[in-house]
Each structure stands twice: as structure tokens, then as C-alpha cells.
Structure 1
Amino acid sequence: MHAPPFRLARTPTDASPNEAHLRAFAPAGCCGPSQAEIARASRQRTRLVELDAHLHCSIIGTCLSTHELRKLVPKFTALDGQRASDLDIHHAAVELAIEGGAGGKALQKALDARYAGAVRRFSSARDAEAVLALWNEALANGDIPPAYWALMTHPATTMEVRQSAFGELHMLSHLVGAANRADLRRLVALEKENAGLQTKIERQQTRLHEMSRERDAAREALEALEAQTARHAAQQQARAATPAQAQIDALQEALAARDARVALQTSRREAAEQRANADAEALKTLRAQLDEAHALIDALRAEAHAMEQAAHSEGDAAGQRSLAQDALKDRRIVYVGGRPGSNHALRRWVSAAGGELTIHDGGLEDRKGLLAAALANADLAVFPVDCIDHDSMNMLKRVCERHQVTYHPLRTASLASFVELMMRLYAGQASETGAANDVPALSAVPLSRFCLRHG
């Protein structure tokens, strides 16, 4: 079917209603459209209101869904968008398209916005054949609504092309209806088959419920029989109890009591072992402290003895009798660290013994760069471990090893520690000259871990 079963309102030249009106009332040869206006009109797309009224039904029904129409139509009519039927909504939309106005413009805008892609695709066509070719392609792909709207409003579309598209769409509606009827027949058959299956399932469910009740009853009877059998066996065992069973019970009680005693003794043994280990650790710590105390006592005894000898020799004009004659004469001793008060006493004592004492404070006020120069020609280097920083001590050791200078640590920065060291170093020379040497041996002097710079 290529034409609708009604007379179309357009003329064979497919003129718009405005052009027909102008030609009807304008005098001959006057107020007619110019060639420029005709060319411009031929390049413009046809509006919805300009189409034949008999095409609006197919355009509205094909290109717009009922959901979209329910939101748009109530804005321009008195219909209720929720309660009105689909047919009422469709008729109202068709009337709005025929009348034009605000409702027609809204429909035109909705269609253009929804099918803008198809309109752009059809805009490449320059004649009716190209438009029809694009329509056939869309028809083969099943993309009918966008192509139908783009074809109906294309400026190159003729009445023959619109009739062809309308007829093909009309026949498709028949095919869809026939397919729907076949689907309805299949639906009825499936519903009948479904009803039979539902009846069969209900019978099976009933039978399954009956079997489940029978199984539960049999299980309850079996459990009751097992309980009765267990009670009977317990009664038989109670009646068959003998003195041997009483003896077994007594032995079990004795075994439990023995296990309890073993567990108690085990816990006591473990507690005693823990106390013994703690006592051993405490004893080890006390022994270490005792060794340190003995070493400290030895060091203090040696220092006291050295100070006593130095005190006895203060009135001797020849120097320290406890040392060898001229033991420190022309000897240059470098003392690094110490305290200002004791350093002056050390300098006087060494000077009295005929030696020279150079003092460097380790970098507190004197520059550390002067330490290497002071140690270059020294005979001996001495530093108190409780009054010197680690950096100065490490630098002193490196410079002494480089210049082959002997260095000795002192327990403290006191005069007694320094005098004891001098006595220990040069006491052997005094024994060769006949002087008595009763200085105690300093086996292990505990060194302080205090650092002048780092604490």
C-alpha cells in the first residue's frame, strides 16, 4: 500500500499552506513569492504544523512514546496526565499538532531534540532519491522512528516519498498486529500448560508433605525406642555392678589425688626455679658491683698512697722523693680536658717535679685545631675520662698514634689520679736508685662513663 485510504490535503506541487493561501487571494501577477523566497523555502525543513493533518497520527504514534506525551500534553490541555487513557493522550497530541500554536511548537521541539542525529544524517541528502535511500537503509536496520521524522520534515521530500514511507509504516503495523496475535495464541497455550504444571506441582508438594510427616513420625518412634533401650541398659549395668567396680572407682580417685599432688609439686618446683634464676641474676649483678667496688678501692688506695708520698716530699728542695731523680725533668706532658681548679694544681706539681705540663680543655674554649700542634713534640699525653668529650678523646688517640706519643687515661680529673699515674709510670726508676717503692698495684681502675660534652 503506497497511499493512505483517504485524500491528502496537499497539492501535487507539495506547496505549504501559507503559499497556497497567498496564491488563492493574491491578484494575478501581484504579491507572488519571489524566486529567492522560493529557494529559501526549499532549503528549510518542513514544520509539523505544515504537514498534512492525516500524517500527524502516524508521526505522533511512531516517534513519541506515551510516557513522553503524558508529561507534555497536560501542559497545553485539561487532561490529567496520570488518569487519562493512552488513547486520550494520543488524540490530544494529534489535535495539538494539527492546531499548531504553543502545543505544536512543543511537539516540534521535542521531536527535533530527540532525533537530532537522524536529522543531521538526512541533511546530507539533496534530492528525493537520496532521502528514500536513507529511509530504506533505516527500515532494513529497524531504526524506524528517527528516520520517519527526518524523512517527513526533510526539505527535499516529495509527496510520493511521504506516501511511500507512510504505506510501509502502515503495513508494518499490520505485521506487528499479526505477530501480536500469534504471540497471544502462544501465550494462551503457555498459560494452559502452566496451569497444568501448577496442578502437578501442587500434587507433588502434597505428597512430599505427607512423606515428610511419615518420616518425622518414624524418626520420633526410633528415638523413643533408642531412649528406652538406653534406660534398660543402664538399669542392667547398675544391677550388674560388683565390688570390682567399687575398687576401680577407688583407684581412679587415688589416681586423681596423686595427679593433683604432682601438679602442686610441679608448680612449686617451677616457682623455686624462677626464684633461683632471679637470685642467680641478682648474685651476678652483686658480684659485678663488688668487683667494681674492689677495683675502685684499689684505685683510691693507690691514689691516696701517691698523695701521701707527694705530701711527705713537699719540703724536699730536690723535688719529689717518691719519683726517680729528675724523672720528669725536661719531659713535656700534654693534659687534655679536666677542670680549671685541678689543672692549676697539676701544673704546679709537674713544674715542681721538673717537667712541663701543657693543658688543652678539649675544645670548650681552646680550639681543637691546636690539639694536634700541642701533641706534636709531647713525651706523654694524659686525659681524664670523666671530664673530656668523645670527639676530643678520639682526636687525641689518632694524633698520638700518628706521632708515636704514649697516652694514658685517668680515672678522674683530680690531682690524686694524676699523681698516682706518675708514680705508677716512674716508680721503677726510683727502685733502681735505691728508693723504697710501696705504691700498691692498680689492677683494674673503673673508668667513668660521663662525657663533658654529651653528658
Structure 2
Amino acid sequence: MHTPPFRLARTSTITSGSSALNAVDGRPDGCCAPSEAQLAELNRRTRLAELDAHLHCSIIGTCLGTHELRKLVPKFTGLDRLRATDLEIHHAAVELAIEGGTGGKALQKALDERYAGAIRLFNKAKGSDAVLALWREALKSGDIPPAYWALMTHRQATTSMRQTAFGDVHMLSHLVGAANRADIRRLVALEEENASLHAKIDRQQNRSHEMSAQRDSAVQKLAEHAARTSAQGSDEVAMLRAEVGTLREALTTRDERVALHTSRREAAELRLAAEQESTRALRTRLEEMDALVKILQAEASALERAVQAPADDPSRYSVETLPMPQGMRIVYVGGRPRSNNAIRRLVESAGGQMTVHDGGIEDRKGLLAATLRGADIVVFPVDCIDHDSMNMLKRICERGQITWYPLRTASVASFVELIGRLNADAQTKGQAGGPPRFCLRHG
């Protein structure tokens, strides 16, 4: 039997030629010598399906774009090419790579065709050190996807080499968070460049003025000298004219340089203005998002405290944390039916009363003044009430001296956060000096 039924080890059959020699006469042993098919199998590149499963996600995400995956993945899955999200497409591609079927082969083919040049370059590398050197050069140049695919499937790539490349690609993702800091650094660099250009142009303009004055003086002197020496011959006159032409050419060259630096300064100023405007917009957006996050955190915290279950009876929710005087009457204008019912249950569980007016959808707006009569406070969500009802409500509250509070949304969390905030303000004022100036019941 010339071909053994098992796969020969690479190190014993490829790197050492004496391991397959006959111990008696030094000739290759027929039963242990690798066949040409086995040698080709050992020297081939690693397939995508043969790689460790935890590497597929980074390979698909780094080496194949979303547009290309949208054309390829739906052919082998039930995903809709137009409606599926980018994450669903990515997950499906990773699953196809792990399964290694027809879809995995299609991914392998697409990667090989796309990065054929990098594969040929890496195949020329001799030894692991040469492969790692090519990978480091790709990291420095920023051309990551071709080198990453070529290294992962290289026939001499080891587990440690793949883990090193995987770690490098993983750490590159953390650099995205530094984009804003890079923009700021670029803005500072542009400002410094602009100041340097201003100083340089000022120096050049001063030098140009000096040269113009020198030229005028020289021209005047040359004209006077030419007038005095005109009788001395045409040769001297020609020499003087040539010198005047040289000075004029030098002045023209200097004027062109001044114009060039002026245009560069103006372009730098335009870039600086654009960067400053972009920075202001980003800062404004960041402040708005920070304020929204704080509001959402306060609402979530207040809602969590309001619906905590007591320790003695976990099946019953506690509303004791909703600070509300007994018999307090709240009028809620607008909102949504489901949220209004939940808010009503919270208020009644805390010992208060709540009257709901939908702002004129089913309840008549003419009954709004009668509904507000005798209310301690009036609450309305700004996202679920029409402008006409809101303006009418404010006028009625001002005439009746009733305290009204707008809510950010019609959610239960916004209402609970308002009650907690009013109670905290009242307690703070009470601790600061004497009885509180604000009362949750009387305003």
C-alpha cells in the first residue's frame, strides 16, 4: 500500500527528508512517503471553514463590505436583500462561513478574488517572520483587509500568528472613539498653521514694500545715472536697461509669491471656519444628548423607586415612594389612555385623586374650565396635547391661580419623576430655612 489511510504530519514529512528513508539502504519507504496529492494538500492555503469559529466575525466584518454581502448572502439564506439590517446580513455571513457549505465556498471565492494580489504577495514570504513582517507593514500603511485575509489563510500561519493579527484588528476598532479628539487636534493644528501663515505673509509684505522702495530708488538712480552717462555710449545704456529688466522680473516673481501665499492663507481661513462651525455643532449636539440622558436617567430612577416590590410581599408593588399628600387632586390634560390609566392607579394608590381630560378629542373643550375647578395641580404632556388646548389650559390656570406643570412625554416615568422632583424641591426649601415655600397640595 503506497498511500497510508491516515494524514501524514506536516513536520515529519515535509521539513525533514530523512524521516521517510529506509533505515537499511537509505531509500524512501514506500508505505510512509507522502503522495503528490498529500503534498499539495499540506501546501495549500487554509480554507475559511477550517479557521477557528471565533475568527469568522472579524474576517467577514473587516474584509467584506456590507454592499457586497447584501448581494451574496441572500442567495444562500432566507433574508430579504432590501429589508434585512446590516447586523442580520453580517450574522448570516458568519454562520455561512462556520457551516462551510456552498455559502462558505462563495465567501471564500469572493475573498480570494478580491485580495488576489495580497495573497500572491504573502505566498512569496518564506517563514513565519516574513509573514509577520508583511502584516506589520500593512498595519503601518493602513491597508488592513487584504493583509488580514492573506495572513489568516496562509499555509504557514500558526495559531499564535492568527491571534496576533486578530488582536491588532480588534484594537483598531477602539481607535474610532478617538475621532473627536483627532478633530480637535486638527483644528488646533489649522489654527497654528493659520497664525504662521499670517506672520509669514506679513513678513513677506513688509519685505515686498522694502524691495519696492529699493526698486524705485534704484530705478531713479539708474535713470539719473543713465541721463548723466547717455553720452558715454550705447553699451552702457543697454547694460543699465538689462539691470532694470532684471529688477522688474524679480519684483514680478516676488508679487506672484505673495499672491500664492495670500490664496493659501484665505483657503486656510475657510477651512478653519468650517472646522469651527462643525465643532460648535458637535458640541451643541453633545450638550443636548447629555441633557436628554440626564432626564431619562432621572425618569427611570423615579419610576424604579415608584414600582419597587416590598420585601414582605413580592407579588405586590409598593407606591409608598410616590410622595403625595392624602386627598391631593391632580388634573391630567392630554396623554394616552393606557398611560393615563397607569398614572391614575399610582395616584390613587398613594392616596390622591386624579381627573383626566383628553384635551378635546372625546371630552369637550368647554368642560376644561369646570374640570380644573378645585384642582391642586394641573399636569399635561407636551408631546400629546394640541396647541389650542395647551394655551387655553394655561389661561384658565393663570386666572384661577392653579399651578401647572408640563411633562416631557406622556409616559408614566415622566409623571413619577415630576412628583419626586417637586417633593425633593419642597424638602430642600424646608431644610434651608423654616417651612417650605412650595406645597405639593397648594402650590
Task: Flag the structure with more relative contact order, 1 or 2, with Cα contacts below 8 A and sequence separation at least 6.
Answer: 1
Instruction: Please report the TM-score for the alignment, with normalisation by the length of structure 2.
Output: 0.41
Instruction: Please report the TM-score for the alignment, with normalisation by the length of structure 1.
Output: 0.40
